[in-house]
């Protein structure tokens, strides 16, 4: 690993400072796992026998933030503009009962071995002393890493009772590293799958986001289905999954998984829309979009996320017959802000299902040949121009402006003067509805 990595250098500095003050300090958890796999850790956590107040005193109030002082966790800020970020420093601890299925009622400070035993999975339960270049593994994590196994530490049901979200996390980690789940760990998930609903929708959504933006997203979703978690958190997918392997079904579920694989670095919204693509089967896209909207709201996604997912589902048939569209209809569609993702969605599904892609190719070619200014030119007139013509604002304004815009996109008019004359003609003939 490069010594010039600012995150690594700052994590080393934190360890040196703590050790220099007489404390034990070790890198802990995921950063150790990633380091052993030869991957640059996204961030670094440090475990120590220093108490939270001692960590704050050592690094100073300006460089520390108590993000979980009652659980022994202090955030230490790296130097500004260094790119080092922050390091989470946690005191070795054991934990009391998890009465809410998320947080322990209390913690007690402990030894490194006791701390390791309260963590989730063996591959996340190792420590590393970067100064002595020594691995401390009390839970068999290094062997499981070599075997490519995700295994809960100790009794898997006990670990999952402590934090139900660990069931989804096990799926995500196994998919991310292309590991297998330990048999006892998998069986515990199957036995407890409905308990995932104890977890807040926001936390479930965060795990889904991490799964769906990762290149092995299809593996994660397939594994979540195998363990019965998927239809607990997304019960609306049950009819799609039920077609798996049925004669005449075209195996819609396998098509969905293949389409997920084919997406290239998608945003979460596109990946979720791809997963939900056939929610309503042969029903109109609008019906599926309504279901998708309800799913997004239940997961407490943002308004923008809900809009984007439901828009993509609502427009899943929008490209059909595109070569025969009038210019204004085609251009309005291709000018949509999400058109790139809609094309990516349709490209993935057409490739996965082996269906024709003529309409998709036509739209892609049109976008290549025509500039953005041709597809979405500035509007020629506004409501202010209609008022200047003596018209009273009202619903007819939208009708008139839409008619002018269609004529512009159809390349029948090109200037403001032509647009105003077109309005006069419509008014004179009363040829606009409303």
**Residue 366 contacts residue 330 (beta carbons within 8 Å):** yes
| Average pLDDT of the residues in 101-127 | 84
pLDDT digit string, tens, across residues 360-419: 999 999 999 999 999 999 999 999 999 999 999 999 999 999 999 999 999 999 999 999
pLDDT of residue 94: 84
Specify the CATH number of the domain 1-141.
3.30.460.10
Question: Which of left, alpha, beta for 346 (phi over 0: left; psi -120 to 50: alpha)?
Answer: alpha
pLDDT at residue 188 greater than cutoff 70 = yes
Give me the percent of the chain exceeding a pLDDT of 90: 81
Q: In what order do the strands lie in the sheet with 25-28?
A: 64-68, 73-77, 86-91, 45-48, 25-28, 127-129, 134-136
User: Which secondary structure element, helix H or strand E, spans residue 339, and what is its range?
Assistant: helix 339-353
CA dist., res. 39 & res. 31, Å (int): 9
Burial label for 99, CB within 10 Å (0-12, 13-18, 19+), is exposed
With both helix axes pointing from N to C terminus, report the angle between 339-353 and 303-314 in degrees, rounded to the nearest 10.
50
pLDDT of residue 321: 96
CA dist., res. 141 & res. 155, Å (int): 15
Instruction: Find the range with the poorest average confidence among 123-137, 153-167, 323-337, 416-430.
Output: 416-430
Enumerate the β-bridge partners of residue 28.
Answer: 45, 127
Domain range list for the chain = 1-141, 312-375, 383-429
pLDDT at residue 71 greater than cutoff 80 = no
- pLDDT band of residue 245 (cuts 50, 70, 90) is low
- pLDDT band of residue 1 (cuts 50, 70, 90) is very low
Its pTM stands at 0.89
pLDDT at residue 350 greater than cutoff 90 = yes
Residue 357 in 3-state DSSP? coil
């Amino acid at each position: 690993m490069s010594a010039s990595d600012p995150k690594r250098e700052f994590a080393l500095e934190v360890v040196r400072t703590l050790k220099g003050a007489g404390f034990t300090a070790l890198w802990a958890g995921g950063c150790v796992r990633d380091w052993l796999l030869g991957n640059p850790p996204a961030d670094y956590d440090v475990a120590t026998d220093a108490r939270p107040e001692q960590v704050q005193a050592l690094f100073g109030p300006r460089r520390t933030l108590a993000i979980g002082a009652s659980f022994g966790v202090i955030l230490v800020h790296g130097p500004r503009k260094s790119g080092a970020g922050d390091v989470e420093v946690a005191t070795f601890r054991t934990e009391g009962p998890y009465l809410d299925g998320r947080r322990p009622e209390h913690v007690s400070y402990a030894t490194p071995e006791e701390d390791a035993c309260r963590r989730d999975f063996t591959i996340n339960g190792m420590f590393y002393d970067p100064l002595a270049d020594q691995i401390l593994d009390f839970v068999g994590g290094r062997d499981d890493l070599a075997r490519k196994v995700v295994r809960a530490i100790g009794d898997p049901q006990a670990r999952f009772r402590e934090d139900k979200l660990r069931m989804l996390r096990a799926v995500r980690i196994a998919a991310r590293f292309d590991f297998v789940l330990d048999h006892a760990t998998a069986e515990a998930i199957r036995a407890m799958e409905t308990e995932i609903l104890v977890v807040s929708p926001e936390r479930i959504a965060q795990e889904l986001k991490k799964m769906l933006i990762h290149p092995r997203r299809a593996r994660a979703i397939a594994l979540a289905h195998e363990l019965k978690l998927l239809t607990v958190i997304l019960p609306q997918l049950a009819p799609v999954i039920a077609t798996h392997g049925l004669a005449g079904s075209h195996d819609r579920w396998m098509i969905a998984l293949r389409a997920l694989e084919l997406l290239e670095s998608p945003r979460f919204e596109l990946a979720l829309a791809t997963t939900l693509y056939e929610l309503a089967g042969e029903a109109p896209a609008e019906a599926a979009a309504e279901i998708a909207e309800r799913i997004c709201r239940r997961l407490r996604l943002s308004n923008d996320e809900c809009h984007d997912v439901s828009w993509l589902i609502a427009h899943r048939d929008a490209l059909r017959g595109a070569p025969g569209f009038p210019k204004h209809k085609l251009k309005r569609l291709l000018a949509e802000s999400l058109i790139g993702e809609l094309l990516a969605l349709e490209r993935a599904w057409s490739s996965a299902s082996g269906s024709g892609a003529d309409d998709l190719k036509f739209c892609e070619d049109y976008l290549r040949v025509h500039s953005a200014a041709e597809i979405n030119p500035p509007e020629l007139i506004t409501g202010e121009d209609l008022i200047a013509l003596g018209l009273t604002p009202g619903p007819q304004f939208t009708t008139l402006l839409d008619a002018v815009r269609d004529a512009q996109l159809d390349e029948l008019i090109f200037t403001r003067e032509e647009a105003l004359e077109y309005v006069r003609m419509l008014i004179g003939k009363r040829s606009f509805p409303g």
